[in-house]
Structure 1
Amino acid sequence: MFRDCMLGDYEVRTFQRKWFEIVEKFGVADKRWVQDMYERRHSWATTHIRGKFFAEFRTTSRCEGLHAVISRYVKSRYSYTEFLRHFHRCLMFVRAKEVEADFECAKGDPVMTTNLKQLERSAAENYTRAIFYLFVPILDRACAMRVVDSEDNGSYFIHTVSRYGTPGKDWRVVATSDTREVRCTCMRMECFGVPCEHIIVVLVLNNVHEISWSLILPRWTKDAKLVAVQSMGMIWDSVQLTQHWCLMDWYRKV
């Protein structure tokens, strides 16, 4: 029940009702830990962190993953000089992985696998390969969504979206008449920077074939490192820069 409160995508009133139901059921209202957790609910409850950008990181997994990489190169018994030498090897590995990721984005196109191929192709053209693969399941989930009601307020529309076979759970998507600006009450776009399935189904309803720039976070695109100014004053685009990095990496190995 606590996990449901923590991860559930609820409105504030619904979260409060569920929280006090748990407290009453288990008789823990006087427990200091429970009181402290409720006071800090803005730090851990999905209800209260919606709309805050955290790139979908909510655990220590990123930090633990970095520790695992470093531990392959650095040991506690190393002296200062040994630490610097092996830590430099770790940095070279991380930079090489970044070069490989940039190279993957620059060459070829991923295979289209969803039924919303035009939107999927638009995402493939703009997003990095890693973000694109995170976006594909959202397109799949959008196929199970449907717009059950639409309200015209003149300059914008309010669409009520529901998941097929799950009555009683609705989301509201506000969109301008030209769908240039679209926002959803789930606020996943604001949290992660990628459109949610509720926004996608509204785009499909309006026969939109490309994801508008208002729904694309620049940091997730291939052009995030479009221009790099080198020390000699040269300016290269991302493809040339990636090729240069690959050549330099191979040169170091040789």
Structure 2
Amino acid sequence: MYGNFFPEEFERRWHNLISEYGLSENEWLQKTYGIKEMWASSYLNDKFFGEIRTTSQCEGIHSLIKNYISKKCYILELIHNFNEALTQYRTNELLSDFKSLFTTPVLTTCLQDIEKQAADIFTKSMFKEVRCEIEEAGKLNVVTHSVNNNEVKVRINKYRQPGRECEVQYDKATKKFACDCRLFESRGIPYCHIFCTMRHDHIDIIPDTLVCTRWTKNAKKDYICSVTSAETNSENIAGIRYGALATLCFTLCESASKNRDDFMEIRDDIFGLIQKLKKRRDPDSNVLSNACMVGDPTVVKTKGAPRQNRWAIKSRKCSHCTRCGHTIRRCPELYSRDVLHTGHH
């Protein structure tokens, strides 16, 4: 609704514009108006575009590829640079998956139950958009609220814009929401009008009808399960499988590494799976021993001179007779020799 017009409002503004400038006989404007459903946002709000409109996706790819291509680029260099760009795409995707799975956002809105569930469902980038809609819901007011059996109708306006209203319909039985703005249908995320209705009716759980699988953390899992048998061996599908398995392994490693027993169990299970796959690919391959597996490091004594007791008393040793217990000053041999020498004189 805000930032977009309803079809009725579009019609009113269009005719006012044509009348103001006397363009009713303009052939180009008449032709453009005839295909308004193909370009006017008011008629496209119920169409899902995955946040891609016009040539934005192509322009985004071009801006990335041009960094690897120059006018004097050879074919071999072009292919190499293109592979580099593709690798960067895949790396960014894995990094985004990692951040979505292993980072927890700080809850900042007043609807923390709904915000926390959104953080668990949606990817990190999409959660930021959903959180903005939850914040926008605080600026909306409920004008009227009516209930007829399971059907709930709520009329909503925005703070300081009381003249612009929209209606949200909610079915308690099917948990389906429908809003005049149709922005949920076009963007695939719950819009602020829906969150305002949920707040007013004390609904603290986002229903499945408001979750678009494309924007969830499990989107890859559902996509891979839908792949037909004819596509199972393509390189594209192999790359998707790799990314999906990598994200699952990240979760497994994070949980198992915190406890030694869990680590040992998961390590043995992974080792068994590796051997199973190797045998399936090559029945004649050698089976690795458990000694090849990585475990906790063995605690050993440090190298170098042995540690000495700093408080140990060293025994005294004579430098003349090399006996312990006395020094040269009190050496018995020297003492007896001195006595004999004195007596002789």
**TM-score of the superposed pair, with normalisation by structure 1:** 0.84
Match of 2:146 among 142, 145, 151: 151
Q: Equivalences for 1:222-241 in 2 at 5 Å? A: 222-226=217-221, 236=245, 238-240=247-249
Deviates more, 1:171-180 or 1:147-156: 171-180
Matched, 1:30 2:39: no
Say yes or no: does 1:20 pair with 2:15.
yes
Structure-1 separation of matches of 2:141 and 2:8: 25
Name the CA distance, whole Å, in 2 between partners of 1:156 and 1:8: 28
What secondary structure, in the 3-state scheme, does the structure 1 residue paired with 2:20 have? helix
Secondary structure of the 1:115 match is: coil
Give me the whole-angstrom Cα distance separating, in 1, the residues matched to 2:246 and 2:95: 17
- The structure showing larger relative contact order (alpha-carbon pairs under 8 Å, at least 6 residues apart) is 1
Q: CA RMSD, aligned part only?
A: 2.7
Which of 209, 212, 218 pairs up with 2:207?
212
SS state of the match for residue 207, structure 1?
coil
Per the alignment, residue 89 of structure 1 pairs with 84
Question: Larger C-alpha radius of gyration, 1 or 2?
Answer: 2
How many residue pairs match? The answer is 238
Aligned-residue identity in percent = 28
Instruction: Give 1:78-117 correspondences, 5 Å limit.
Output: 78-117=73-112
Instruction: Check the 8 A contact 2:183/2:191 in 1, yes or no.
Output: yes
Consecutive unaligned residues of structure 1, counting only runs of 5 or more, are 1-6, 245-254
| Contact 1:41/1:48 (<8 A) preserved | yes
Tell me if 1:126 matches 2:121.
yes
Deviations 1:94-117 (A, max 9, x none): 111001000101112011121221
> Per-residue CA shift, 1:202-236, capped at 9, x if unaligned?
11112111211110001100011237689799994
Residue range with higher mean Cα deviation, 167-176 or 7-16: 7-16
* 8 A Cα contact 1:145 1:164, kept in partner: yes
Return the match for 2:59 from 60, 64, 68: 64
Q: How high is the TM-score relative to the length of structure 2?
A: 0.63
1:85 is paired with a residue of what secondary structure?
A: helix
> In structure 1, what is the equivalent of residue 165 of structure 2?
170
- Retained in 2: the 8 A contact 1:73–1:90? yes
Structure 2 segments unaligned to the other structure (5+ residues): 226-231, 254-345
